[in-house]
Amino acid sequence: MPPARNVELKAHDPDPEATHRAAIAFGAADAGTLTQRDTYFPVPRGRLKLREQDGTTAQLIAYHRADAATARTSSYDRIDVPDPDTLIGALRATHGPGPVVRKERRLLLWENVRIHLDDVAGLGRFVELEAVAADDAGDLDAEHRKVADLRAALGIADDRIVAEGYAQLLTRVAAPDDLIDGARVAMGRAYVPYSHFRVGAALRSVGDAATVHLGANVENAAYPQTQCAEASAIGALIAAGGTRIAEVAVMADTPLITPCGGCRQRLAELAGPDTPVHLCGPEGVRQTVTLAQLLPYAFDAAAMESGA
């Protein structure tokens, strides 16, 4: 029997409730919330995971899917597993350990499209569209059209689309506790007598993974003289002898803290486009993005040399 197929699109979702309202307005039906744990295993070809859902069912899923920041085709086979713990132990013993992705998934259904509003532990909020093809489907043009129509209805812009799967994102950008703890400490020390809005930042420099450089926002009665937390942390990193930023954490007690435009440019001076930036609340990471996602057209030394 040939594998099942679908057309998938994944994107960051800064406002899941707004996405939910837009999906309902488009005609989708809310099918409730699922709790899932996906355990991945390294394999020579394709991808392999065991999905446990709501603590009651489990399936082994083998699939192939390209990494691309667009709608892409996935082919997959699913096998029901009656004893997931034993299978996980056997696969880890023979294939080695892989990442574990935990998420709360709000499921909506529109025709043959599954709309997933995912809250992924350690990564944040995402929206995922899956147009499931019929077994006898030839090309998948109809599925691509439906994903495109839904994308437009939900307002998913290009800069929100994610090329990689959750397991890859989690492996690449999982923030160590000391970085998050540092941002939390810095937030608590912020000098904010006017706004009372505390922000903490923590940076790790390239070549010195053991040291975390902290910065807090420092306000001034002359408002333009206020210093952002990211700028404070960059100064600490430079003073300690660092020259390049490997990883960033920014924390505030707000729905989603993001660096201001000036601080995005400051970070771009010392960090690369793939540098992970962890956007945190007091409890930990809420979303992780790359610097290129925050500042897709950074002004850099190359732009100066070209006369831009």
104-150 pLDDT tens trace: 999 999 999 999 999 988 778 999 999 999 988 888 999 999 999 99
Q: Which residue has the tokens 């082919």?
A: 75
Q: What is the 8-class DSSP label of residue 69?
A: S
Mean pLDDT, residues 266-270: 95
Fold of 175-306: Cytidine Deaminase; domain 2 (3.40.140)
Assessment of whether the complete model's pTM goes beyond 0.75: no
230-254 pLDDT tens trace: 999 999 999 999 999 989 999 999 8
Q: Are the CB atoms for 202 and 249 separated by under 8 Å?
A: yes
Active-site hit among 8, 52, 143, 230: 230
Q: Is 128 a catalytic residue?
A: no
Q: Are the CB atoms for 101 and 124 separated by under 8 Å?
A: no
User: Does the annotation list 221 as a binding residue?
Assistant: yes
Structure tokens at 285: 């990471």
* SS3 category, 3: coil
The CATH number of the structural domain formed by 4-171 is 2.40.320.10
Q: Are the CB atoms for 251 and 280 separated by under 8 Å?
A: yes
User: Does the annotation list 218 as a binding residue?
Assistant: yes
Domain with CATH 2.40.320.10 in the chain: 4-171
User: Does the annotation list 260 as a binding residue?
Assistant: yes
3-state SS of 71-125 is CEEEEEEEEECCCHHHHHHHHHHHHCCCCEEEEEEEEEEECCEEEEEEEECCCEE
User: Does the annotation list 217 as a binding residue?
Assistant: yes
Domain with CATH 3.40.140.10 in the chain: 175-306
